Structure 1
């Protein structure tokens, strides 16, 4: 998707609000097929209002397909989708004014000056907040007299984010917004996102492959796989579902990789590391029954837990070193 802003609303159009308690995004058996392949496979999802919801998944999980349908750019094969209480297939100009969208391309008309692009956006959104735009743009040291083609990628990201938040959206979708940014621009963007949540009632959907960003930002973790919802909870709750067991085996442990709940097995410095889903001390007993001399339990960070969950069943090296 290359469109960064969903702007086609005159200032006179009234902007409705979402009733309290209604999900900002709701899908029911949502399916999008390309021939025999399902990009979305009967996806049923309900995202509550407020805070930051992170959507993660491997390439091909269906994230971009979901966004295209939610924003009204594509029709599903079957099922239904609603955004801010509205049918995604019939979004009005007023509906679109309630939604902000920023993607990884940060594409803007290269020949225009920053102030010219902002002037166009200012006329299109009835709730435009100039003070908010200027405050955010200052985080990225954007010179309003520069042409877009003269900006760095980080500065373009800052302009896009500032314009999206200045329209005062009820829902802001950020699709890989830090991709390709340097450490300074990435930090400025993440701080701006956190600040915007604290200062407004805007709900944010944040899509990223960077788990350190998800760990810092997200209140809710949504994992998609092959177009299906696989998990939704607070990130800490997901980490508690995944445990690390390190076992000393006197011999090759046979088929312990096939034990229930095993996501990943690695041999590191002669010890076998098991990442396991939804098991407690009972898993240690299973390893001991398989011949383990010693078994230790360790904590698992979000990145390692999510990666193991998404790559379960994939071939892994049998020997590695730290």
Structure 2
């Protein structure tokens, strides 16, 4: 990889660690997120995603290591740098008693670069009126107004932490369309955290996978999918036991009498390996991003007890 100057990163962490007693929320995390595009952070619950955001935004002091955002130490963020960062989380909280027009006016006074036209355009996706009170809005409408206010700040970096959690299909689609339009017309860098892989496939240019506070992978989503292959074969029981111990095997699952084997970083001739284990009717199939990511994340976790002949591992 070519060398990139520090100024070309919106986020840089070096051996970043956040520890609570014996529990690590972040562990020696070294991460560099380049400017531009949409970067998706994924991981199981407890992977460290929200902990990372708290450190980056200066809300949490790390146990050790360093973190920088927009070229400034996260421990000493100036008001000027904070004004260049937009943040939307899954709570979408606003004062229930206030009217939307008043909430927007309050936000507008705090940001000199406020872009009212952008706010109006984004909020227009959600059909919210200025005279409506916050208490009258649905969860999706609140999410839309929060996104509109964040974008109207004209942020250099927009951080979204599970922004579509709990939204219905219509509200989620409006949110994602507004988000992609913003990224297509601006130099705004977006860091997007979600458990919804269909969203990630739709919006993300870069995939960052965290597990137990550590960086496991970073690349374009399609590049990651190319590293994972799915093989379906008729395998004897002894072969299944032997395959599970191999380092390239992410997951095995038995469906309709056939064993599905997810493999990491092996070439297209892996069918010959399976044939060597006594496999019959071997074929390979494409892998979705959802299945590939989940296989990687579940590999190092203890498998639940096997349930007879139904499943080799019951991860799905």
| TM interval, short-chain normalised | over 0.9
Q: 2:114 aligns with which of 124, 128, 134?
A: 128
Q: What is residue 103 of structure 1 aligned with on the other side?
A: 89
* Residue pairs, 1:175-186, within 5 angstroms: 175-186=161-172
| Structure-2 residue corresponding to 1:261 | 248
* CA distance, structure 1, for counterparts of residue 123 and residue 180 of structure 2: 15
Q: For residues 248 and 52 of structure 1, what CA distance do their matches in structure 2 show?
A: 41
Other structure's SS at 1:281 match: coil
- 1:261-290 residue CA offsets vs partner (Å, 9 max, x unmatched): 101000111111000100123432221111
Contact 1:22 1:49 in 2 (8 A): yes
Q: Which residue in the other structure is 2:299 paired with? A: 312
CA distance in 1, matches of 2:206, 2:192: 10
Question: Would you say 1:54 and 2:45 are equivalent positions?
Answer: no
- Counterparts of residues 2-41 of structure 1 (less than 5 Å): 21-41=7-27
Provide runs of 4+ in structure 1 moved above 4 Å.
none
Gaps of 5+ in 1: 1-18
Q: TM-score, normalised by structure 1?
A: 0.91
- Whole-Å Cα distance in 1 between the matches of residues 9 and 237 of structure 2? 53
TM-score, structure 2 length as denominator? 0.93
Tell me the secondary structure at the aligned position of residue 25 of structure 2.
strand
Aligned length: 304
Contact 1:22 1:85 in 2 (8 A): no
In the TM superposition, residue 252 of structure 1 has moved relative to its aligned partner by 4.5
Q: Which residue of 2 aligns with 1:206?
A: 192
Give the gaps of 5 or more residues in structure 2: none
- Alignment correspondent of 2:273: 286
- Counterparts of 1:311 and 1:154, CA distance in 2: 31
- Can you list the C-alpha shifts for 1:100-121, whole angstroms capped at 9, x where unaligned? 0000000001111101100000
Q: What SS class does the counterpart of residue 194 from structure 1 fall into?
A: helix
SS across alignment from 1:231? strand
CA distance in 1 between counterparts of 2:237 and 2:18 reads 48
Match of 1:233 among 209, 216, 219: 219
The CA deviation at 1:315 is 2.0
SS for the counterpart of 1:109 is: coil
**Structure 1 residue 249, shift from structure 2 partner:** 2.2
- 2:133 corresponds to which of 143, 147, 156: 147
